[in-house]
Amino acid sequence: MNKIAKHLGFTDYLEVGVQGGVTFNAVDISHRDAVDPNFLFETSEFERETVRFFQMPSDEFFSRHCDKTYDLIFLDGLHTFTQCFRDFCAALQVLREGGVIVIDDTVPGDLFSSLATQDLAIAAREAHGLTGRAWTGDVFKVIPTIHNYFPNLSYVTLRNPDNPMYKPNTVLWRGQRADFHPADMDLKDIESLGYFDLPLIENLFNYMDYEDGLSLLFDSVTKP
Ligand SMILES: C[S@@+](CC[C@H](N)C(=O)[O-])C[C@H]1O[C@@H](n2cnc3c(N)ncnc32)[C@H](O)[C@@H]1O
């Protein structure tokens, strides 16, 4: 986030789904807005005129409280396809020209992560003698949806082969996809995708190694 912001001279950041503020409080951007129904830290310690906290679900924020536009929007709220796609559509409406959206957790690390709720993911791991709270839900379905229905958006899914702890995320910007070829799937087909279908749609994610993906982004997006 900081590399993107620094390179593109961004000044206004929105994070949806903030939890303990690990990312939000480390983002080096002058104006920052945070949205979460359940912050896990004392937000008043960080609040100032240019750093605002909206304790509410993202739907409420976008429909009633969002009063500005942003250069960089990080979507990391409720990890379901329906909510993440709604957050994405709302985010597009308040994304400035030359702005960037980052969607976290677009690739489940294992079958358990892709289950419908985090409780299920934890319980299913325990049932198999495993531990871990990782949960990406079915956010991955947002990628084929954007691929098929947003020809005017470009994106890459970043991964870092040198760091196995790096979770892939998808970076999007406004830009025609000259090679737009929707996959042969409608919304119902996308909705019914499961973890084991991921290899079949792997090419839709536009995977790139982290540094190469950022270079493509910087070559494609003009500074505001
Ligand atoms: C994975 S955590 C966010 C982690 C954080 N972005 C970070 O990098 O440290 C997901 C967060 O989404 C929040 N959340 C759940 N439903 C939400 C909603 N409808 N709108 C906004 N945030 C939501 C949860 O409360 C949780 O804190």
Nearest C-alpha neighbor of 61 from the set 71, 1, 70: 70
What's the CATH code of the domain at 43? 3.40.50.150
**Whether residue 37 has its Cβ less than 6 Å from ligand 1:** yes
Digitized pLDDT (tens) for each residue of the chain, 224 residues in all: 999 999 999 999 999 999 999 999 999 999 999 999 999 999 999 999 999 999 999 999 999 999 999 999 999 999 999 999 999 999 999 999 999 999 999 999 999 999 989 999 999 999 999 999 999 999 999 999 999 999 999 999 999 888 877 889 999 999 999 889 999 999 999 999 999 999 999 999 999 999 999 999 999 998 76
Distance (Å) from CA 76 to ligand 1 centroid? 6
Distance (Å) from CA 177 to ligand 1 centroid? 30
In a domain, residue 133? The reply is: no
**Whether residue 73 has its Cβ less than 6 Å from ligand 1:** no
**Whether residue 1 has its Cβ less than 6 Å from ligand 1:** no
**Whether residue 84 has its Cβ less than 6 Å from ligand 1:** no
Provide the residue range defining the domain that includes 95.
2-106+139-177+205-220
Q: How many distinct structural domains can be found in the chain?
A: 1
Q: Which residues contact 98 (CB under 8 A, 6 or more apart)?
A: 8, 71, 173, 174, 221, 222, 223, 224
Task: Indicate the SS3 state at residue 150.
Answer: coil
**Strands in the chain per DSSP E:** 12-16, 31-35, 51-54, 70-75, 95-103, 153-159, 169-174, 207-209
